[in-house]
Amino acid sequence: MVMEELRRAALEAALRASFDDPVLAPRPLIESPDSWVARQCDRLLALDAWVLAPDDPDYPRQLVGIENEPAFLFARGRRPAAGQPAVAIVGSRKPTPSGLRFTAELSRLLVRHGLVVVSGMALGIDGEAHRAALSAAFDPLPSIGVLATGLDASYPPAHRALQVAMAERALLLTEFPPGSAPLKHHFLRRNRLLSGLAQLVVVVEAREKSGALLTVQHANNQGRDVGVVPGDVYSEASIGSNRLLVEGATPFLSPGAVLEWLIHTSPCGLPAMPGREGARSSPGATGSSPPATGSSPDATAGTPPVTDRLAALVERLSSHPASVEELARTTGRPVPALLADLLDLEMAGMARRWSGGFVRG
């Protein structure tokens, strides 16, 4: 009871503090501020949310001293692990199959070596980074999703199930109180936290005017390292990211190259993870060795079991995108149940969201 009272008090204090920030403040109220605070606090408690403040032992130390340091963060899910290094993976909302593959392989590799994957829960590269991190989850925190809305919102709507999974098995953070809409300037403000939480920002694909480029600007201001995956010079998906390479960003030609960079360049190194081979390995380590549990690389603790029903669904997928409506029609299954199965397949690396539907992973 005492802990619940303390949590409510911390939530109420953070909600009241939001009135002092013109970006975070709620729109003109039709109720008293006290009534609004009480109502939003009830919503956050219903989500099992809490507050992280700079004097909290769980507050990410990486954020201390960044520009416009957050006075508080609303949080939902697992508490961050003290000292766990993080890599931010950002990129296009409309990636290529190659970009999605690199993102998934990199996320799984990082998580299996004890790092946390940070991204922004957007469509495309962000979502793939979070899904792959969840599929490879071990005991440490696998992923942090930084929202540009309140914790009560599901944005984008297509990531509703992913957001639920992140709240159950990873961590969602936001500065914005409940009821905050996904406005453009919210995303611009959110981006400084993506880079601030990480020691390295990896841009997989970025178009000419990608939001990922703004995250890189914040990374440069914060003294964070920036790496880029080289892309097709004729592809619009890589115009912005390739330009970063010209400007001096570190090129990463494989997921293993990111891991090697962290081993040799990062002052934090990699955490020693019991029961995991390669976490502090020789210079040539690429993280390709399976976990010491005797399982295959994709048969991790966080991967849902592949039932006969899921296997049958995989058989209906190919390299040509199949819409949810089409799959519902051919399988005879209701759309909500089908979406849940497709999310399980995504987390198992057996299906992938693509323009117009789903393809085989």
Question: According to the model, what pLDDT value does residue 269 have?
Answer: 52
Question: According to the model, what pLDDT value does residue 266 have?
Answer: 61
Q: Please tell me if the domain spanning 52-265 has the same topology as the one spanning 308-360.
A: no
Per-residue pLDDT tens over the stretch 65-85: 999 999 999 999 999 887 889
Quote the CA–CA distance of 313 and 316 in Å, as a whole number: 5
Quote the CA–CA distance of 55 and 278 in Å, as a whole number: 35
pLDDT band at 286 (very low <50, low <70, confident <90, very high): very low
Quote the CA–CA distance of 86 and 116 in Å, as a whole number: 5
Domain boundaries, the chain: 52-265, 308-360
Q: Which residues have C-beta within 8 Å of that of residue 100, sequence separation ≥ 6?
A: 124, 125, 128, 352, 354
Quote the CA–CA distance of 110 and 139 in Å, as a whole number: 13
Question: What is the second-level CATH architecture of the domain 308-360?
Answer: Orthogonal Bundle (1.10)
Q: What's the full length of the chain, in residues? A: 361
DSSP assignment string, 102-160: HHHHHHHHHHHTT-EEEE---TTHHHHHHHHHHHT--SS--EEEEPSS-TT--SSGGGH
The CA-CA-CA angle for residues 309, 315, 319, to 5°, reads: 135
Residue 346 has pLDDT above 90, yes or no: no
Question: According to the model, what pLDDT value does residue 275 have?
Answer: 35
Per-residue pLDDT tens over the stretch 263-274: 877 655 555 443
Question: According to the model, what pLDDT value does residue 3 have?
Answer: 80
Q: How many CA atoms lie within 13 A of 36 on its CB side?
A: 19
Nearest to 143 by CA among 188, 102, 107, 103: 107
pTM: 0.75
The CA-CA-CA angle for residues 36, 41, 43, to 5°, reads: 100
Question: How much of the chain, in percent, has pLDDT values that exceed 70?
Answer: 87
In 3-115, beta strands by DSSP E: 50-52, 73-77, 86-90
Question: According to the model, what pLDDT value does residue 229 have?
Answer: 95
Per-residue pLDDT tens over the stretch 166-190: 999 999 999 999 999 999 999 999 9
Q: Which CATH class is domain 52-265?
A: alpha beta
- Cis ω for the linkage preceding 156 (within 30 of 0): yes
Helix (H, G, I), strand (E, B) or coil at 226: strand
